[in-house]
Structure 1
Amino acid sequence: MFRTLAKLHSHFGNAFYLRKVCPIYRRCRFASKYSTTTTERKRFYQDVSISQGEGGMFEVNLDQRKLKTPGGKLFTVPNEAMAIAVATEWDAQRDTLKFYTMHLTTLCNTALDNPTQRNKDQMINAALKFLETDTVCYRVEEPLALVELQKNEWDPVLHWIENRYDVTIGSSYNILGPEIPDATKDTFRQHLNSYNFWSLTGLEYVITQLKSIVLSLGVIDRHLSVQEAVLLSRLEEEYQIRRWGSVEWAHDYDMYELRARTAAGALFVHLSSESSTVKRKLLQD
């Protein structure tokens, strides 16, 4: 018997749990729609460049026009590395702008406009709430092959994060999930508080993709590659596909999209913490 109620989040891509319960999912759906109100648009510029503005912030220019956020703010990022990454997204667009592929731009818009008007404490609380329903903490009791697969693939990651942060998380076959000790929550709260607002925005995005704070921190801490984390987040789905088969093109598309979004979120976290100036030309002739 597969997961019931909360456990359905893995078998069905977390759709039930996320839509009904998870506050991160609701906010990020709003932020995504807010940041990409038009999914496609004809390209209206020739050249993309970056420049340094007031206060050391960097701007992205489309021809001679400064990029703006959906909320009308000047699009500014904290360092040159982030500016180059965003400018590259805009330069990579061809005749049609596909905003749904511009994940870094969307994350910057969300951080700048903060459409849900949250502060760091609220973002940290949302992340910690997700710890209680982490994908890798919910285990099935049958079939035996899947039980063993979860144990072999998920347990090493759980052991790593428990040792890395000196916490106790555990796993559970119970619908309510494992009982997370207050000391564990306090440790993670202190760790997440060391992130700046922009980095938390990126981390939150990664969590929504992987449905797991454990896997997300594994990627951010470079313990897991994006590809490894995505496969671990889809473990039960991949098991079912190997057993029953799938529509090949749809499976591949979903996999590549999830990798792209997760990689963009992780890159955003690291770029948001980047303080050094990247001394190289943005676009080569």
Structure 2
Amino acid sequence: MRDILSDLDLGEKGDKLSDPVRETQIGLQKQLPKRFYKEATVVAGDDQDFVVALDGKPLRTPSRKPLGVPDRELAEALAAEWQAQQELIDPATMPLTRMINTAIDGVASAQEEVFEDILRYAGSDLLCYRADAPESLVARESEAWDPYLDWAANMGARLVLSEGIVHVEQPPEAIRAIAALLRRHSSPLQLTALHTITSLTGSLVLALALAEGQGEPSEIWDAAHVDEDFNAAQWGEDHEAAERRAKRRVDFDAANLILLSFKR
């Protein structure tokens, strides 16, 4: 079977971590391949993994590794992406495939580097940078963000707040505490999901809260968009921005599925 993942540009050999938005743009610019299979299913693979198979033939990543995961429900969601393809195979509709392919081919061989890349977000977490006005926005930020910062503080990560965009240096002990939390979710799949969520929300605290079950996905997503929603309420919704946000939400939900698979 031809290497369909390479054709789709869902990740190249040696990739350290994928950018979902960039990959979607690249995929849309290319001529999409035609669907050549009838059925996408899940089959047992090596090392107790569950692998996606097209007409019974296991899929492989661009590095020729089986496209499989350790959780059957996650594998079934992955297979559903392939089953849902119509006449053409569109990578823009396959966030799980992109992320899992990246985890297997890229993150697995660069886990510490990816770990450090995620941890850098702790030094400039969205939740630490507060508006100084108007009062209604200040109150909304506090209501949405303080519970997550309080949770982080209870875990040893007491972060310093700042008004506006002036950078504030975070205490080393807080960064170490966040690093300890991140270590609890350091498999290639988890790191890939956390990197995606942190990038989409601008907050490692929110990403870790999601991984630790400290909030519903919809609540955490809304917390990441307090400022955006406030502006939309004041000035009206930007339809292009709303479309971009909807696409990011698809990636957020896919990353959350990966995190959920480690709680079963």
Please report the TM-score for the alignment, with normalisation by the length of structure 2. Answer: 0.82
- The aligned residue for residue 214 of structure 1 is 205
Of 199, 209, 227, the residue aligned with 1:236 is 227
Secondary structure of the 2:159 match is: coil
Per-residue CA deviation, residues 27-75 of structure 1 (Å, 9 max, x unaligned), is 5328963x99534432221111121123322221111332121333332
Q: Percent identity?
A: 26
Query: Which structure would you say has the larger RCO, counting Cα contacts within 8 Å and 6 or more residues apart?
Result: 1
Of 146, 171, 192, the residue aligned with 1:201 is 192
Contact residue 139 and residue 147 of structure 1 kept, 8 A: yes
Shift of 1:109: 0.5
Of 53, 56, 61, the residue aligned with 2:45 is 53
Contact residue 131 and residue 137 of structure 2 kept, 8 A: yes
Of 146, 153, 158, the residue aligned with 2:149 is 158
Matched, 1:73 2:62: no
- The aligned residue for residue 266 of structure 1 is 256
- The aligned residue for residue 27 of structure 2 is 38
Gaps of 5+ in 2: 1-15
Alpha-carbon distance in 1 for matches of 2:180, 2:236: 44
> Given the superposition, is the C-alpha separation of residues 100 and 220 from structure 1 closer, same or farther in structure 2, using an over 3 Å criterion?
same
Matched, 1:92 2:84: yes
Counterpart residue type for residue 264 of structure 1: A
Secondary structure of the 1:60 match is: strand
Shift of 1:118: 5.2
Cα RMSD (Å): 2.6
Shift of 1:176: 4.0
Alpha-carbon distance in 2 for matches of 1:31, 1:243: 28
Alpha-carbon distance in 2 for matches of 1:75, 1:53: 9
- The aligned residue for residue 142 of structure 1 is 133
Of 91, 96, 102, the residue aligned with 2:94 is 102
Query: Which stretch of structure 1 is more off in the superposition, 52-61 or 209-218?
Result: 52-61
Query: Which stretch of structure 1 is more off in the superposition, 209-218 or 120-129?
Result: 120-129
> Given the superposition, is the C-alpha separation of residues 61 and 32 from structure 1 closer, same or farther in structure 2, using an over 3 Å criterion?
farther
Shift of 1:97: 2.1
How many pairs does the alignment contain?
245
Alpha-carbon distance in 2 for matches of 1:27, 1:52: 26
Contact residue 38 and residue 99 of structure 1 kept, 8 A: yes
- The aligned residue for residue 111 of structure 1 is 103
Shift of 1:129: 0.8
> Given the superposition, is the C-alpha separation of residues 149 and 223 from structure 1 closer, same or farther in structure 2, using an over 3 Å criterion?
same
Alpha-carbon distance in 1 for matches of 2:190, 2:220: 19
- The aligned residue for residue 119 of structure 2 is 128
Alpha-carbon distance in 2 for matches of 1:31, 1:56: 32
Alpha-carbon distance in 2 for matches of 1:117, 1:50: 22
Secondary structure of the 1:175 match is: coil
Matched, 1:185 2:175: yes
> Given the superposition, is the C-alpha separation of residues 41 and 78 from structure 1 closer, same or farther in structure 2, using an over 3 Å criterion?
same
